[in-house]
Amino acid sequence: MLTAIYGCGHSESKVTARKEKEAVIATFNLKKEKLSTKLSLPGELIALQQVDLYAKVSSFVKTLKVDIGTEVKKGQLLMTLEAPEMSSQLAATQSRIKAQEAIYTASKANYSRLYETSKTPGTISKNDLDQAMAKKNSDLAQLEAAKAAYKEVSSVHDYLTIRAPFNGIISARNVNLGAYVGPTGKGSDLPLLTLQDQRNLRLAVSIPEVYTGYLKAGDEVSFTVKSLPSQTFKAKVKRLSGALDLRLRAERIEMDVPNTSKVLLPGMVAELNIPLPANNSTFIIAKKALLDTSEGLFVLKVVDNKAVKVAVKKGRETDDQVEIFGNLTEGDKLVAEPTEEMHEGMTIKP
């Protein structure tokens, strides 16, 4: 009885081995194709122009012409500041100019009289004439210095009126009437006002290194925002940094987004769909033909009915296809659905 059982089991194992040896494994011929994909990345909408306005000199808020949400034009008066000591300095420099003008006028007249008199020989010594001319030139220099001092104080005084540097909307206001303000870190740590150009936005996104070669200036991308999920917006690549961020290893790319209707807001996070057209033909295989092991990524190539493992690297991929790079040539026969049980050198009947 035992002999019969043993004989039966031995016979079954032979049949199984023979079936495995004769099993047909699906293969395909490797060929080059063009793979066009899309890349989904988050981006940020920011104002095309934005500026924080600070006080140049220590002063008090005298008038406030705008508030949050006010739309302003370039050169429009936003607020005026008051600095009493600045007004006193301005008046003092004006008085000094008048005093120096009077002194210079007198010394110039004195020199002119001496010069006319010196035309008669023996009346005026050359030394007296030279001293009069030196006094006139010195007084002229003092007058120019007084004018320069007045111009300096006047320029600083102009900082007491704050105007819009460009068309935009006031997005932040951090002061009230009568508040003491000054250079940042002294009178106020926060800016007095923040001005944004919200009719024109920038869409900024960081493109991973592997995809940087697929985008160029003028390419169109589409994007959506969470507040308007049913709407799709378009933008064209305008600026490329041309370098990788050392921390992210990505290239910053910016697009200009017209926003005349102001439905988009600076600070919004956008979900971008970036087309990645195929520039060249590459090896494209089905994802199930890629063998992912703890040692790396491989494909199984059939050479003389024997399995050969070939290490590969992945490129772009879609839902069911992937771009691969490795020591492969067009026409190589690859196993369609390799498994980890398929080892190097095993017999494969395509």
Structure confidence by residue, pLDDT tens digits, 270-327: 999 888 776 677 888 888 888 888 888 888 888 888 888 889 988 777 778 888 888 8
Query: Is the distance from CB of 33 to CB of 282 less than 8 angstroms?
Result: yes
35 pLDDT more than 80: no
Q: State the pLDDT at residue 113.
A: 87
Structure confidence by residue, pLDDT tens digits, 98-123: 999 999 999 999 888 888 888 888 78
For residues 287 and 88, the model is more confident at 287
Q: State the pLDDT at residue 4.
A: 42
Structure confidence by residue, pLDDT tens digits, 43-84: 999 999 999 998 888 888 999 999 999 999 999 999 999 887
Q: State the pLDDT at residue 72.
A: 95
Angle at 138 between CA 134 and CA 144, to 5 degrees: 145
Q: State the pLDDT at residue 188.
A: 65
- Least reliable range by pLDDT among 35-44, 128-137, 271-280: 271-280
DSSP string, 50-92: EEEE--SSSEEEEEE---TT-EE-TT-EEEEEE-HHHHHHHHH
Angle at 202 between CA 201 and CA 207, to 5 degrees: 155
287 token code pair: 């994802």
- Which phi and psi angles does 73 have, rounded to 5°? -105, 160
Query: Is the distance from CB of 81 to CB of 62 less than 8 angstroms?
Result: yes
DSSP H or E segment with residue 256? strand 250-258
Residues β-bridged to residue 13: none
Q: State the pLDDT at residue 223.
A: 94
**Domains present along the chain, CATH in parentheses:** 39-48+198-276 (2.40.30.170), 50-81+160-196 (2.40.50.100), 84-158 (1.10.287)
Q: State the pLDDT at residue 19.
A: 45
The number of residues making up the chain comes to 350
340 token code pair: 């980890």
220-225/269-276 β-pairing:
antiparallel
Q: For the chain, give the mean pLDDT.
A: 84
